[in-house]
Amino acid sequence: MLASSARVFDLSLGQMLWSRRSVFLGFLLGGPVLLAAAIRIVTATTPFWRFSVNGARVSGPGLFGMMMWLLYIRFIVPVLGVFYGTALIADEVDDKTITYLFTRPVRRGAVLLGKYLAYLACTTLLVLPSVVLVYFLIVPLGGGRVGELFPSLLGDLGMLVVGLAGYGAVFAWVGARLRRPLVIGLVFVLGWEPSILLFPGYLKRLTVAYYLQALVPHAMPQDSAIGVLMQVFREVPTIATSLLSLAIIIAVTLWSAVRAVEDREYVLDQ
């Protein structure tokens, strides 16, 4: 199974990297970099201007933490998970190329796993440089030390990979199991997750974000409405619980996706 997945991975990675979806991903990931560059330019050309939220000044590392949380963790990573995860098999079906993969001596589950690994490699290769660029542009603002905070950057990068793995696995399952997976996925990440996280109770445990937020290493700004909101968001489990839960989510959803693909018939329109 693993050897077959590796072969599918080889075939799929290049296809994914040069797909239209990756162009979209490039635009999506260019946004935070452009925003960071704009902030940096404004700060450099306007000596007395400092970034603030509700009047409270935010340091470079604090701003980077906010960008990580609000742009990457809460938006880019889930959206990438939805767009790529739901399309792992659907793209091949739409393009009618699935026949070539499903008539080879490779288990269908291995096709899905290989494509999932290709998704993870593709998105990681594209997301991490964007984050690193934002880090170097934003952290030095207000005297933040790039070298000193580097370990937290590694933590951020690791968390992003875990996030991509988690959302990708969930939406690989949604894509393998349901019709109209993209709509369902977008409703989940843009509707269900943000709203349910605002309420106390157990329902938030039915989100990926709940477990992911425990891994955010940054202290959020405290002296503002956003800070209060962040604290609500950060009602979180321990890191160990989060990692274990995310590992279970990834394993269970991937296994379910493999089962779904193995059992399902794909009827191509002629």
Partner 1 sequence: MIEAAAPIVVTSHLSKWYGQVIGLNDVTVTVPVGITGLLGPNGAGKSTFLKLITGQLKPNQGEIFILGERIWGNPALYVRIGFCPEQDAFYERMTGLEWVSALVRLNGAGEREADERAHRALEAVDLLDAAGKKIGAYSKGMRQRVKMAQALAHDPDLLILDEPLSGLDPIARRKTIRLVKEWARSGKSIIVSSHILHEIESMTSNILLINQGRIVAEGNVHQIRDLIDTHPHTVSIRADQPRALAREFLAADDVLSLRFEDGAIVVQTAKPDVFYARLTELAANGELGSIHEVTSPDDNLQAVFQYLVNT
Q: Where does this chain bind partner 1 (CB under 8 A)? A: 4, 7-8, 10-11, 14-15, 18, 95-97, 99-108, 262, 265-268, 270
> Is there a contact between 133 and 36 (Cβ–Cβ < 8 Å)?
yes
Q: How far is the CB of 47 from partner 1 (least distance, A)?
A: 50
- CA distance linking residue 27 with residue 235, whole number of Å: 32
Q: How far is the CB of 256 from partner 1 (least distance, A)?
A: 17
> Is there a contact between 1 and 113 (Cβ–Cβ < 8 Å)?
yes
Q: How far is the CB of 22 from partner 1 (least distance, A)?
A: 12
Nearer to partner 1 among residue 15 and residue 59 (C-beta): 15
Nearer to partner 1 among residue 96 and residue 205 (C-beta): 96
Q: Phi-psi region for residue 49, left (φ > 0), alpha (ψ -120 to 50) or beta? A: beta
- CA distance linking residue 134 with residue 235, whole number of Å: 26
In the DSSP assignment, the letter for residue 146 is T
Nearer to partner 1 among residue 95 and residue 235 (C-beta): 95
CA neighbor of 169 nearest in space, from 75, 246, 65: 246
Buried b (16+ CB within 10 A) or exposed e, 41-74: eebeeeeeeebebeeeebbbbbbbbbbbbebbbb
Q: How far is the CB of 85 from partner 1 (least distance, A)?
A: 20
Nearer to partner 1 among residue 99 and residue 231 (C-beta): 99
Q: How far is the CB of 18 from partner 1 (least distance, A)?
A: 6
> Is there a contact between 95 and 71 (Cβ–Cβ < 8 Å)?
no
Q: Which tokens go with 21?
A: 């979806």
Nearer to partner 1 among residue 238 and residue 270 (C-beta): 270
Q: How far is the CB of 28 from partner 1 (least distance, A)?
A: 22
Nearer to partner 1 among residue 18 and residue 255 (C-beta): 18
